């Protein structure tokens, strides 16, 4: 997305939602969301990270982590990565499984994109892959994102996760990314 006017917002008629930035940064929170959101989709690249690696990642000055709460319960998150007045990436984004199917993904993506533009972004972008929720790409397009580049690559993946897997690095994913079981 190269202009804030391209954003097609989604509203949710609920009064039990709260979106808050995680301040100060908390590597355990980033790790929690990475596994809780990505386990179903076999996100795996960060699974072996140590707490020190999470600390280095989560405390970078250009990374913001935002948490969506539903009636006080953490329901989803997004990470914005990039310097103000430059490209901002929605680096990670998603909902914990029990909150999928309620229109919250469209709402959360709207808010992530708004907050990226509020940082005076020159462009807002996001990667997706075949390891993301099947509605990820349709949601991105519905909010106004356009396909920029498509790649096909293969990756060996473990069997279906029961809750410990994590996501591929943003730079390795693209809309056409295909995982191999």
pLDDT at residue number 25? 96
Q: In this structure, what token pair is assigned to residue 152?
A: 């096909």
- Quote the Cα angle for 95-97-101, to 5°: 80
Q: What is the DSSP string of 120-137?
A: T-SEEE----TTS-TTHH
What does the domain layout of the chain look like in residue ranges?
15-172
The pLDDT, as a whole number, for residue 158 is: 65
Sign for the CA dihedral angle at 36, 41, 42, 47 comes to negative
Q: To which H or E segment does residue 131 belong? A: none
If phi > 0 it is left, if psi is from -120 to 50 it is alpha, else beta; for residue 85 that is: left
- The rounded Cα 26 to chain-centroid distance in angstroms is 16
* pLDDT the model gives residue 107: 96
What is the rounded average pLDDT for all residues in the chain? 84
Taking 50 as the pLDDT cut, the residues of the chain under it are 161-181
CA–CA separation, 54 and 10 (whole Å):
32
Domain 15-172 CATH superfamily: Gcn5-related N-acetyltransferase (GNAT) (3.40.630.30)
pLDDT for 172: 35
């Amino acid at each position: 997305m190269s202009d804030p006017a391209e954003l097609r917002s989604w509203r949710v008629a609920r009064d039990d939602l709260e979106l808050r930035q995680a301040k100060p940064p908390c590597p355990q929170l980033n790790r929690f969301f990475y596994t809780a959101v990505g386990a179903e989709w076999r996100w795996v690249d960060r699974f072996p990270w140590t707490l020190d690696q999470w600390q280095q990642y989560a405390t970078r000055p250009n990374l913001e982590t935002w948490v969506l709460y539903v009636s006080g319960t953490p329901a989803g998150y997004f990470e914005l990565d990039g310097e103000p007045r430059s490209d901002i990436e929605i680096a990670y984004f998603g909902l914990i499984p029990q909150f999928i199917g309620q229109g919250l993904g469209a709402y959360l993506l709207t808010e992530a994109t708004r907050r990226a533009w509020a940082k005076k972004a020159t462009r807002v972008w996001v990667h997706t892959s075949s390891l993301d929720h099947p509605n990820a790409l349709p949601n991105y397009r519905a909010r106004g994102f356009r396909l920029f580049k498509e790649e096909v690559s293969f990756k060996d993946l473990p069997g279906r996760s029961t809750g410990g897997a994590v996501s591929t690095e943003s730079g390795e994913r693209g809309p056409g990314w295909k995982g191999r079981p």
